[in-house]
Amino acid sequence: MYKIVAKRGLNAARTTTEMVFEAPLVSRKCLPGQFVILRLNEYGERFPLTVADYDRERGTVTVIYQIAGASTRMLDRLEPGDSIQDFAGPLGLPTEMAGLKRVAVVGGGVGCAIAAPVARGMSKNGIAVDMIVGFRSKDIVILEDEMRACCANLYIMTDDGSYGEHGFTTDKLRVLLESGERYDQVTAIGPPMMMKLVCELTKPYGVKTVVSLNPIMIDGTGMCGCCRVTVGGQRKFACVDGPEFDGQQVDWDELIARNRIYIDEERAADEHVCKIGLGGTQHA
């Protein structure tokens, strides 16, 4: 069992939560860009969450989740002192940083839970980082202080202009590139459509663009095949070959279509009943 040692809400809308778990074996090995798979109890579904932080001395691992479906609602009902069944990881390949000197990290919404630790890891390795992050409105902004602490410049964009600058992350990235800013790499993490648009923007500038993909995932070992994506015309599995890939080689239309396979079930999560005998709802 894995004990919860801390919990806090991250935004005014109370849609996103940070939770710290006792997981000493995982904390010894995890690196920025990797993820873990949780299972609340023996009847629960497996769902992946990115490693937001870790403390090797305390033996803890921090995750951040958006309250979206049955499993994340069940997780959010737990409090420090409670425990969950499984906390498997670290999974996936860590962020590749070799040879980088200056990077723009672009985060969208809850994707900032991944963008922030990646940016922090880069900064600790001597890489100069600018961050461009986007949210629908001020009340769902997360991790602002943490992001400011690990980058040279933080640009916050909101769709409705209620905080930071009015517009999208691609608007700000375009301004920076057009003004002559030079980056060895752009790293984009967030909704697939946002990542796709970032890649389309950077391609004419010849800037390598890395993305962290979030396809449907079950076992996290490459065996189930659910997280398959097409990159450079080849089949890859996000859980073992990624989650980070060359974004300009990703088949975005395929990824977006696959991610929407269960959208009707997700919308009806409150009424959905598992049909294979596990009981309860089955959506994270």
pLDDT digits (tens, 9 = 90+) for 253-276: 999 988 887 667 666 655 556 555
Region(s) of the chain under CATH 2.40.30.10 = 2-91
> Could you tell me which residues come within 8 angstroms of residue 194 by beta carbon, excluding any fewer than 6 positions away?
106, 108, 111, 134, 168, 169, 170, 188
Mean pLDDT per block of 10 residues along the chain (284 residues) reads: 92 87 94 92 88 93 88 91 92 92 94 91 94 94 92 94 94 95 95 94 95 86 86 92 93 89 66 54 46
Helix and strand tally (H, E) in the chain?
Answer: 9, 16
On whether the pTM is more than 0.75, the answer is yes
Tokens at 272, concatenated: 């959905």
Helix 192-202 and helix 252-259, axial crossing angle in degrees, nearest 10: 170
Q: Which helix (H) or strand (E) holds 25?
A: helix 24-29
Q: What is the pLDDT of residue 281?
A: 46
25: left (phi over 0), alpha (psi -120 to 50) or beta: alpha
Q: What is the pLDDT of residue 272?
A: 55
pLDDT digits (tens, 9 = 90+) for 37-57: 999 988 888 889 989 999 999
**CATH number belonging to domain 2-91:** 2.40.30.10
Q: What angle do CA 52, 245, 184 make, to 5 degrees?
A: 85
Contact present, 17 and 144 (Cβ < 8 Å)? no
Fold topology of 102-259: Rossmann fold (3.40.50)
Region(s) of the chain under CATH 3.40.50.80 = 102-259
